[in-house]
Amino acid sequence: MTDRSNTNPSQFGRLTCGSLRIDQAGESVALRGWVHRRRDLGGLIFIDLRDRYGLTQVVFNPQIAPDAHELASGVRPEYVLKVGGTVRPRPEGTINPKLATGEIEVEGLALEVLNESKTPPFELNQEGEVDEGVRLRHRYLDLRRSRLQRNIVLRHDVVAAMRDFLIARDFLEIETPNLIKSTPEGARDFLVPSSGFPGNFYALPQSPQQLKQLLMVAGFDRYFQVARCFRDEPQRADRQPEFTQLDIEMSFVEPDEVMGLSENLFLELSRRFSTKRIRETPFPRLTYAQAMDRFGNDRPDLRFGIELRDVSNALTGTSFNAFAQTLSGGGQVKAIVVPGAADYSRREIDGLTELAKQSGAKGMATLAVRADEVRGPIAKFLSPSELDALTTGIGANTGDLVLAVADTPQVVAKSLSALRLEIGNRLGLIDPNVFAYCWVYEFPLLEWNEEEGRWEATHNPFSGYLEEDAPLLDTDPGAVRAKQYDLVLNGYELGGGSVRNHRRADQERLFALMGYPANELAGRFGALLDALDYGAPPHGGVAMGIDRVVMLLADEENIREVIAFPKNQRGLDLMFGAPDLVVPSQLDELGLRLDPDKQTTIR
């Protein structure tokens, strides 16, 4: 049990299981808490009484308080007790310096069992691994354990710090509704059927995007909200169907101002809530093009080097068929250098090749740089100057291994980025005590949706674009750069935002490119488009994923560890058993009938 009583003193002098100190020796006290541990030693019974503030040792002596001692002999872990007694110094040699209350104990004189407890399904006074399903089913017990206690307190402190930071800078916290109309952010909406108007549905917000823009039109020039967002997406390890964002919007700003504000906030949070060293300030800024070029990833982990190197030019005239074909078909050849890996075994190389293939690559070429030669299956097909370009040309020294992929730019980026991360981990290049922040900005505004044959927003459909790129909207929409920026920490996207289109014509033009039919436009975005007609100020904002931020500050690997009541990996609430079937009368009221073929029962 971590003792938090030093970091979390009760301001009002409340007596808790973490508050007693040596200068209170002699005082009569009453403590309430849970039995953390009970030990019977030579007639004395020791109980560690626990609450969220700490632990206090209580001693029952049969000679001094026979009734209390008798009762104490029957209590078990997690019983809730009220103990009356006297504070006294612990005997010489039994002081526990790790505990804030470790210099004292309470001589138990009176004992009341406020409630009993069944034996919990897992031990709460130990930090061992427990099956996550069991933890989630009994989350209220899991939450009593020190790890989650620490994380939930941290989360509270982080959110409080976010509020303080923004309020001190004139931001207003404004709530926006959760029953709204569908706002597209790229995921599927959760729908809520209306009983008043059967056949009609509310949607839960994927984010308060349109509402915060409307607040700008309303003149609340600095808004924030700790906003719950809902996205009905396939679940991944670090996703939840509902999650919390720090949502921000500001009027009269360009990207630089929003990025600067966010950066100062994250510097403050990191310094206050983590001991990790911030790798570089100001946070490095990479354009999307640079991030993809150097790391093959728009959320690069900058805790270590190993950058992608483009060797396409050096290989233009190559007689090695596989490379020549890729290059003439508009593809690329890029490579990374793995330091000291020239002696990797066949098996190790096969493993890396497999990883590249999982990212869509047809294969991966290797060159081992030895003192006397460059060795690898493709070495004999390359000229000396090509070999040189692929080794010394990209910084490979004797003893290093070069991994090269030839494919479309997308596949090259994806596979080399995966290889880079694997190598970083494998070679222990990632310093766990570092926070490497960076901004990635100037994302493409639009990407082509092959299936639907239309352009769609890469981030959100309200992002504005660089003025200088406006002519490209007609000629090459895919090349238009958005005023979009993402904040990245250690390879995780913490959040992002953009400066928006504040003129109706600009926004409509983009909607047209995105292929929304005019009638659908009015239905889905009518309110926002109309509002842009009434003196909408230039504005922009950002939203940061609070779950992920707290996860990284807590040094956890999963956001479920920093959410009081998370869903499991399949999006299920194991404690309440949701989602669940409802009784037919509930469906009747809503005018809904289920398709029996589509119905699933969750076990």
With CB under 6 A as the contact rule, the residue among 48, 51, 142, 185 that binds ligand ASP is 185
Query: What is the distance between the alpha carbons of residues 268 and 274, in angstroms, rounded to a whole number?
Result: 10
Provide DSSP, 427-438: TT---TTEE-EE
Applying CB under 6 A, among 47, 59, 204, 542 the residue interacting with ligand ASP is 542
φ, ψ dihedrals at 103, nearest 5°: -90, -10
Smallest separation, CB 209 to ligand ASP (Å)? 4
C-alpha–C-alpha distance, residues 323 and 565, integer Å: 52
Closer CB to ligand ASP, residue 300 or residue 497? 497
Give the residue from 259, 254, 247 showing the smallest Cα distance to 206.
247
Cβ distance to ligand ASP smaller for residue 19 or 262: 262
Min dist CB 499 to ligand ASP, Å, is: 9
Token pair 């002999």 is found at: 73
Establish how many alpha carbons lie within 13 A of residue 542's alpha carbon, considering only the half-sphere containing its beta carbon: 29
Nearer Cβ to ligand ASP (309/483): 483
CB of 414 to ligand ASP, least distance (A): 22
Site stretch for ligand ASP (CB under 6 A), options 164-172, 273-281, 319-327, 539-547: 539-547
Sequence-distant (≥ 6) Cβ neighbours of residue 127 within 8 angstroms: 145, 146, 147
* Angular region, 306: left φ>0, alpha ψ -120 to 50, beta rest: left
Other residues' Cβ atoms within 10 Å of the Cβ of residue 53: 24
Minimum CB separation of residue 496 from ligand ASP in Å reads 6
Identity of the residue, 18 or 464, whose beta carbon is nearer to ligand ASP in the bound complex: 464
Helices (H) and strands (E) in the chain, counts: 16, 24
In Å, what is the CA distance from 154 to each residue of 54, 136, 138, 563? 16, 20, 21, 11
Please say whether the beta carbons of 104 and 20 come within 8 A.
yes
Please say which residue, 310 or 456, places its beta carbon nearer to ligand ASP: 456
Among 541, 546, 572, 590, indicate the residue that binds ligand ASP (CB under 6 A): 541
With respect to ligand ASP, which residue has the nearer C-beta, 151 or 463?
Answer: 463
Q: Which of 95, 125, 156 is nearest to 33 (CA)?
A: 125
Of 149, 151, 209, 332, the one binding ligand ASP by CB under 6 A: 209
Chain positions 489 to 528 lying near ligand ASP, rule: CB under 6 A, are 496-498
184 is a contact residue toward ligand ASP (CB under 6 A): no
Report the relative pairing of strands 277-278 and 434-435 from DSSP bridges.
parallel
The site map against ligand ASP for 298-327 (x = CB under 6 A) is ------------------------------
Q: Name the residue with the smallest CB distance to ligand ASP.
A: 207
**Nearest distance, CB of residue 132 and ligand ASP, angstroms:** 27
460 in contact with ligand ASP (CB under 6 A) = yes
Question: Is 207 a residue that touches ligand ASP (CB under 6 A)?
Answer: yes
Stretch that binds ligand ASP, among 105-113, 302-310, 367-375, 541-549 (CB under 6 A): 541-549
Amino acid at 255: P
Let me know: does 86 contact 29? Beta carbons within 8 Å. yes
Among 524, 301, 528, 543, which residue's Cα sits nearest to residue 429?
Answer: 301
**Least Å from the CB of residue 247 to ligand ASP:** 7
Query: Nearest-CA neighbor of 542 among 173, 219, 168, 260?
Result: 260
214 binds ligand ASP (CB under 6 A): no
**Which of 75, 76, 18 minimizes the C-alpha distance to 51?**
18
Which amino acid, 203?
A: A
> Smallest distance from the beta carbon of 531 to ligand ASP, in angstroms?
17
461 touches ligand ASP (CB under 6 A): no
Binding test (CB under 6 A) with ligand ASP, winner from 292, 543, 563, 574: 543
* Residue 442 interacting with ligand ASP (CB under 6 A): no
The residue range among 431-439, 536-544, 549-557, 586-594 that interacts with ligand ASP, by the rule CB under 6 A, is 536-544
Nearer to ligand ASP, 209 or 225 (CB): 209
Residue 203 engages ligand ASP in binding (rule: CB under 6 A): no
Residues that bind ligand ASP (CB under 6 A): 185, 207, 209, 460, 496-498, 541-543
